[in-house]
Every structure is written in structure tokens, then in C-alpha cells.
Amino acid sequence: MSLEALWLIPSDAERSGTFSFSNMDEHVKASLAVFKKYQVNLQLYPLEPMPLLTSGLIDEWAYNHQAMHNDLDSVLGLGGGPDLSSIDWSDPEQLVVWTQLHAPRHLLYAQTLGLT
């Protein structure tokens, strides 16, 4: 269920919890696959639980999350992915766009690493 849950818009506590767990799970699976395939140990940051969108901690979370995506993009030779750290978390429309950029990136990682 992990990949499918990344299409959830983390707009409330329940969706945020499901998204957060699945997002971290996908990052761990991708990092383990990278290590197995390339012998590269990627830095894992604590992404779970995801802070409330209204908390001051969400920007640090977004920065760490982006760093993990940058590392995956680099090792996998995927070029620059979308900037997932520049978002107004209080804007519901930006949250939808963010989700539409984020979820397919994880699908690409899974496909590239043979996880799907």
C-alpha cells in the first residue's frame, strides 16, 4: 500500500499519518535497494511522523525530505527532480500540486530500482 498512499493529500491528521508512514517506508525501501545495487549508503532523515502542516517544524521536514530526493535522483542518474521543499503548506492548491509532483517521483524510483 505504500506507493498508493503517496497520492493521499496530507490535509488532515488521518491522511497525514497514512502518508507519512508510507512516505518513510518508500524512502527506506529505495535506500536499501540503492545500497544493494550500488553499495551507496544514503542518509535517512526522520520523516515520520510528518509534522503538522501549520507547525514551524514542517519547513525542516521539507528540507530533509528534499535532501533525500536529491540523493536518490543523483545516485539513480535521474537528473533534477521537482523542488518539493518550496511550498506554502497552508495553500490547499499547492498541496495538491505537491502531491502530484511527489507521488510519481516515488513510482519512478521504484521502477528504476526494480521494486515494482
More confident residue, 53 or 114: 114
Segment 58-68 shows an average pLDDT of: 96
Tens-place pLDDT, residues 4-43: 999 999 988 899 999 999 999 999 999 999 999 999 999 9
Predicted model pTM: 0.94
DSSP assignment letter at 79: -
In total, how many domains does the chain have?
Answer: 1
Mean pLDDT rounded to a whole number for the chain = 94
Provide, rounded to the nearest whole percent, the portion of the chain with pLDDT above 90. Answer: 88
Give the residue numbers spanning the domain of 63. 2-112
Nearest 5 degrees, angle CA 110-CA 6-CA 114? 10
Identify which of 116, 107, 93, 114 has the alpha carbon closest to the alpha carbon of residue 23.
Answer: 107
- Across residues 57-86, what is the average pLDDT? 95
- For a pLDDT cut of 70, what percent of the chain falls above it? 99
